[in-house]
Structure 1
């Protein structure tokens, strides 16, 4: 900036558009960034003396001479004490930069406004025609307006965060390979694969153009991506899915799509797929560091977009994928996971995808994608809310959204004739009639099951009386009817592993089965018929759940790493089922009451022993997520100790009441002080403490842990 662009007091002058508009100018030269963002760069200039008359203008006396400028009288300097700068002085460059950095009005656009909102209560203009004529101009002016407060993130902070994110493209080849592998092999994906593939491929041109593989991002490129992100994402009804990547990738690259794909790549790497970069023994130790970098970069995108971007579909995708990645790294009990699910629900409600009736003008492929995202988010919300014992964030009472159609990704994102032909072949309930297992199939199945979960959770904190018992039994009957109404090929059968069916499909079938019948387990736990040794319904569903979980441990398919899915199934379904069976064993030993004929004591002991071996082995398996220092390590270690001591007590006939080999109440409590287990503090231990103390009156073992509650999650 030259000297002519400075005020007489030495402070930088504002350009004329910013000065006349009374907005904060960032004093960029020759054109300021504020005018560039508002699209009025051609009008941006710095007047050398904006408040003075021309020197040749006649003064009021008619002498033809201009009046000299008045000089300000100097302020006397006090010498009585130290001199402090004014509290709100803007003389420093950093503060001056802040004051020139107002928030764009688009960032705080309210988004979806439902019935009863202030917008509905405001009186309408009687002249509807004029109102419709005025709306486009208001929308077009919105990008030129600014708020009167400053950006929460200063420009230097935003540039630094953006630089950190874009620097990760030095590994673009590995990121692309991870995203492609995920979409080629993962059965549980939510966003249609072609949208992700087009976006990651579209990034290659900017990676090459700016040589991001070999050099850090330039300031110009950083500014370009920040500016693209700050623009509202407008999707027309005629937009084809194959052209969607043009809006968010390539030259229009946005941080929402970057954060989404980085989280996908991170999950792919965490699941066990390793590109050639990490197969080299010299780089093997860098895998964990790269996973951390992917999570950090994706989360940084999340923060940036919260401050810069208006809510849009890609934003919701990013929050969803980042939530899944966060739970894999931090565990369900980690505070970041709970925060992410809250942020995800906020984004969805702001966009209004929960009210499908208000989204009639979106393309069909986007409508299907929104259904998938909402239903999957609903499923995740039930899982973590149940685990932590906290209120759900997303309820079926507040939505009119339909189940996603049982279509393949290529059909959902295909041309209109292809999509219409595929929809015409579905049955009246929206299922495909060709016996296919699709990504949308698993979303539909789990959403159907977890809607029952929401009903059951309403009774988790109420007293079980005759009326509540009747309602729970009604839900139980509807759970069975719902299962029988599913297409036959969608219901798990034990011999599917021996047939010509991919292991990943068999895995998803068994996970869906576990998710559905865990609802029945929860109902029987709430009913809590005593004595436990004669509660055939609860014992039978517990045995079935644990047996199906342990089936995953027998898979020997080298094309897929089952360890992480096995551990999740153990923690979600196996441990709570095993807690009931172990408690029944202790009760049977103490009372001498025999099990019903259809329940085998020896089978229970064998299954518990196998479960203990899996819990112990998880600490040594690379992709289990339970090695020392990982999210589930403490949980697996403590569960293994408890079940081992219970089995020892049952099998050791020389230890009266198990007092020598089982922990007392105080010892049992000491098993759960570790980090990551805060969510268990308010839960009730499902019977171990009552019997492990030794006698019928040894109630001191109730230490606040309910293993029947910790598995109320879903994958």
Structure 2
């Protein structure tokens, strides 16, 4: 609407004037079969040959790990089986990649051919099928990159053994080593596309998988994850996925896939921005998109009669209340709840807010109303104290529980903002922290019993579990000290399920040790948290000198009165420094 080119495009439409083909392609991503003139450096061709060498040596191993990802995730992932299968089928059709003995000259020639063909555009038309599209994308670096990214996702799965990364003819690679190798190869393929100016739907898919893989390999806190998100946000804006225009040449399945890609990018943006406490890169204010239909990917790419039958099961809002399709539910809810999270993030980063309590109350109500507007089947809850709760929690319910955790985290953030800005003790923050941690434990326990330890468990632990466990750890120490800067009577008069919280923290610390593996990106921060929780539990369960509780007017203790404990008595200090609670609290506890 505001771009310089939009003025020419609107004028051309109104005057029925045809624009040059290449200009139209830039605006609408209409793909032309002409091969662009691309100058390829010899060094780049050699780099490409080295990538192909990796594939020729370990293609079967790579396929095995990609299949493991699909099997272990229950195909809940946005990138479902058809895409992964077609990706590897495309590679298997390339001569030489099935042979370990292919010579360097052949790989060099193949690399040069792929560079030449990667600049070829695919002509879109409404009857173009997914199979035809994927077949036309063979011999391209973006497809090869998708294969490596799928390998990395499989390697990132929790597990105690490296058996899945061994072959008969080479020493076993560690999971971390193979994961970093897969990510490096993925980024190399993306670099080939960027240097050639190739920008298309498959490149956007590859950027999306690369962003997820980067967080799995290096962790959410690593700057490379934030940089990858920046590249993904650039892609979706450049391709216009944030404000799609009607295009009669785009087939149905591709239009739906673009909505899913946008939903995945939008969701990832809010998650990383929340984890890092930074402004989101993809603002809802600049998006105007429809929700993806609540369909499985296999139905989206199916024949028209099969697809239409699946669509007939949807209600007027696009929800499937008959069959629970895990793939689309998360994306739809993320797009619906995303604007609320964006407002919460804006409040947390804006220190010029008038009447903060009123604004927090307003956002709490907005979050509750938005959540209540979702279909009733998304509100199914399980009593964490029920003996069979974990057994009854199916894969579908696990997705719903994660969505509920994300909703509850809005409350957590808002109550924390009040505590931090107003320097007050917040029982509401403690309460919501307990609810979040118990749901996290229920989800983990379910996956442990079902033997499905998927990568999102580490993300759930890091994203929802660490901060809620931090609040509860701080609260246990505060109550064990029997003092508070504001009001010492709070610890005595406010109900607090001490034993239940201690048990929850103990279980959580155990899962931090057994679930999060050394090859995972968030391993170090999780182990630091585990050590701190251990110190907290030792402190609260050990008899240590505590001051007597007096009925006199409470006062702030001084270093002279209680020199060793003063650091752990200031609850508000630790709420302010909650992002580093596992370091701050442990340093103080070590004084005892």
TM-score range, shorter chain: 0.7 to 0.9
- Aligned-partner SS, 1:356: coil
Deviates more, 1:313-322 or 1:463-472: 463-472
The partner residue of 1:263 within 149, 169, 192 is: 149
Q: Matches of 1:135 and 1:578 in 2, distance apart?
A: 57
Measured on the aligned residues, the alpha-carbon RMSD in Å equals 3.7
Structure 1 residue 704, shift from structure 2 partner: 10
Any conservation in 1 of the 2:72–2:453 contact (CA below 8 Å)?
no
Give the direction of change, closer, same or farther, for the CA distance of 1:370–1:125 in structure 2 (3 Å limit).
Answer: closer
The reply on whether 1:631 has 2:521 as its aligned counterpart is yes
Structure 1 residue 265, shift from structure 2 partner: 1.8
The reply on whether 1:222 has 2:111 as its aligned counterpart is yes
Structure 1 residue 505, shift from structure 2 partner: 3.2
Any conservation in 2 of the 1:262–1:298 contact (CA below 8 Å)?
yes
Q: 1:706: which partner in 2?
A: 577
The partner residue of 1:614 within 511, 514, 519 is: 511
**Gaps in structure 2 of 5+ consecutive residues:** 26-30, 549-561, 583-592
Give the direction of change, closer, same or farther, for the CA distance of 1:552–1:500 in structure 2 (3 Å limit).
Answer: closer
**Gaps in structure 1 of 5+ consecutive residues:** 1-114, 659-690
Q: 1:454: which partner in 2?
A: 342
Structure 1 residue 475, shift from structure 2 partner: 2.1
Q: Matches of 2:81 and 2:490 in 1, distance apart?
A: 55
Structure 1 residue 397, shift from structure 2 partner: 0.8
The partner residue of 1:315 within 200, 203, 212 is: 203
- Aligned-partner SS, 1:458: helix
Q: 1:519: which partner in 2?
A: 410
The reply on whether 1:417 has 2:305 as its aligned counterpart is yes
Q: 1:171: which partner in 2?
A: 58
- Aligned-partner SS, 1:214: coil
Any conservation in 2 of the 1:492–1:509 contact (CA below 8 Å)?
yes
Give the direction of change, closer, same or farther, for the CA distance of 1:561–1:490 in structure 2 (3 Å limit).
Answer: same
Any conservation in 2 of the 1:585–1:601 contact (CA below 8 Å)?
yes
Q: Matches of 2:563 and 2:263 in 1, distance apart?
A: 42
Q: 1:587: which partner in 2?
A: 478
- Aligned-partner SS, 1:432: coil
The reply on whether 1:247 has 2:136 as its aligned counterpart is yes
Give the direction of change, closer, same or farther, for the CA distance of 1:593–1:175 in structure 2 (3 Å limit).
Answer: same
Q: TM-score when scaled to structure 1?
A: 0.68
- Aligned-partner SS, 1:357: coil
Count matched residues: 548
Deviates more, 1:126-135 or 1:514-523: 126-135
Q: Matches of 2:36 and 2:86 in 1, distance apart?
A: 34
Give the direction of change, closer, same or farther, for the CA distance of 1:164–1:524 in structure 2 (3 Å limit).
Answer: same
Q: Matches of 1:221 and 1:400 in 2, distance apart?
A: 42
Q: 1:237: which partner in 2?
A: 126
Deviations 1:366-397 (A, max 9, x none): 11111111111111111212222332110111
Deviations 1:420-449 (A, max 9, x none): 232222112211021423211122223333
Deviates more, 1:428-437 or 1:391-400: 428-437
Q: Matches of 1:480 and 1:215 in 2, distance apart?
A: 60
Greater helix proportion: 2
Give the direction of change, closer, same or farther, for the CA distance of 1:135–1:278 in structure 2 (3 Å limit).
Answer: closer
Q: 1:35: which partner in 2?
A: none
Structure 1 residue 611, shift from structure 2 partner: 2.6
The reply on whether 1:568 has 2:459 as its aligned counterpart is yes
Q: Matches of 2:366 and 2:34 in 1, distance apart?
A: 52
The reply on whether 1:436 has 2:324 as its aligned counterpart is yes
Give the direction of change, closer, same or farther, for the CA distance of 1:199–1:389 in structure 2 (3 Å limit).
Answer: same
